[in-house]
Amino acid sequence: MPYTWYEMGWIVLIYSCLGWCSEVAFAAVRRGRFVNRGFLNGPVCPIYGFGMLLVLLALEPAKEKLALLFFGSMALTSALEFLVGFLLERLFHDKWWDYSQNPFNVKGYICLEFSLIWGLACVLAVDVIHPLIQRGIDGIPLPAGQWLELGLFALLLADMGMTLYELLKLPKHFRAIEELEKAMTAVSDAVGEKLIYEPVERGRERREAFDERHPELAEKSRAYARELLEKRSEINTQVKQREDAGRQALADRRAELEKRLAALRANRTARRIVRAFPDLAQGSNRGRYFKRLGEPEKQEERKEDIA
């Protein structure tokens, strides 16, 4: 191999960081704000690191042949992007990025526009950037460089493990969100149906049935009702108190559910992923749940825009 394992490790780390910087800069230009565009919490996008390593191993020996370097880079990076996009969708059931609206795309995972960009970027990296980075790697004292590289990979693996752990818990979070939202809907419906509509409707139906079965008592009941009307103020007060108590109980229940729902939406890893990959919120399977997780962030953005 043209590189040692030590050198390949640094190539992955350095280009992962450079890839993250380019993604952040691209997102900042498009959205006008900082967005951590990485899959992980740290300032790295490993797909760039491994992609660049793949290009260097396969194509750097032929870098004098510009056409081969360009089209070979296009093919390798596009294949890697397709594979990662495919695997992520199979694991999480929605696309993390979607080029379906771009011309000449393949199942939304890759498209001609970005494949051309990757090809040009790789030509620039192989011909101009990598020689500078290689000199930097060679200039690191070997023992210190080995320990530093080992420490950085340990952090990278820890970050990846924590991120995957949080993301694999998302189906459970989604089910909890759905159950809470159903419960909140039921609470809202109860205010109108159980406290107001149903009691009135049941009372009317029972009164009509009673009048039909006991016509001789109907007149007496109406007379009694007239007497009750004279005390309606007192009765209305009691009824209102019961309704207010019921509404308060339901309001307390709703507040409790909203608090639990807010706690679920506070999953920082999930919210970061939604910010970094907004196409997840448009997914047909779990998109509505990712959209729910992103709602607090959108509210904060609206507040900042107003301010």
Please write the tens of the pLDDT for every residue from 87-117: 999 988 889 999 999 999 999 999 999 999 9
Q: 168, 193, 218 — which closes off a domain? A: 168
Same domain, 98 and 189: no
Q: Of the candidates 88, 106, 97, 23, which has an alpha carbon nearest to the alpha carbon of residue 278?
A: 97
Q: Is the separation of the CB atoms in 11 and 126 below 8 Å? A: no
Q: Which of 168, 201, 219 is the last residue of a domain?
A: 168
pLDDT at 281: 83
Question: According to the model, what pLDDT value does residue 37 have?
Answer: 80
Residue 258 and residue 140 share a domain? no
The rounded distance, in Å, linking the Cα atoms of 44 and 222 is: 80
Residue 134: closest CA among 195, 52, 46: 52
Total number of domains constituting the chain = 2
* Tens digit of each residue's pLDDT (9 = 90 or more) over 31-46: 777 888 888 888 999 9
Residues with Cβ within 8 Å of residue 121, at least 6 apart in sequence: 73
Specify whether the CB–CB gap between 99 and 111 falls below 8 A: yes
Domain extent at residue 269: 172-306
Q: How far apart are CA 273 and CA 278, in angstroms?
A: 8
Residue 252 near residue 274 (C-beta atoms within 8 A): no
**Percentage with pLDDT > 70 across the chain:** 68
- In terms of domains, do 65 and 156 share one? yes
Q: Are residues 49 and 198 in the same domain?
A: no
Q: Domain check: are 144 and 12 in the same one?
A: yes
Tokens of 291: 């959209």
Which of 97-101, 197-201, 259-263 is the least confident region? 197-201
CA 68/CA 208 separation, integer angstroms: 89
Are 105 and 47 part of one and the same domain?
Answer: yes
Which residue bears the tokens 């350095």?
Answer: 14
Q: Which of 122, 144, 168 is the last residue of a domain?
A: 168
Residue type at 156 in one-letter notation: L
> Residue 72's CB: how many other CB atoms inside 10 A?
19
3-state helix, strand and coil shares in percent for the chain, rounded to the nearest 5: 80, 0, 15
Model confidence at 263, pLDDT cuts 50, 70, 90, reads low
Q: Which helix (H) or strand (E) holds 110?
A: strand 110-111
Judgement on whether residues 49 and 191 belong to the same structural domain of the protein: no
How would residue 306 be classed by pLDDT, with cut points 50, 70 and 90?
very low
Compute φ and ψ for 106, nearest 5 degrees. -120, 100
The token pair that represents 8 in the structure block: 């390949």
Same-domain check for residues 151 and 208: no
Question: What is the phi/psi pair of residue 105, to 5°?
Answer: -100, 160
Buried residues in 12-33 as b, exposed as e (16+ CB within 10 A): bbbbbbbbbeebbeebeeeeee
Asked whether the beta carbons of 51 and 80 are under 8 A apart, the reply is yes
Q: Which residue is associated with the tokens 């498009």?
A: 30
User: pLDDT: is 273 or 255 the higher one?
Assistant: 273
267 by DSSP, 3-state: which?
A: coil
Q: For position 259, what pLDDT does the model report?
A: 72
pLDDT bin (cut points 50, 70, 90) of residue 161 is very high
**Quick one: 56 and 128 in the same domain?**
yes
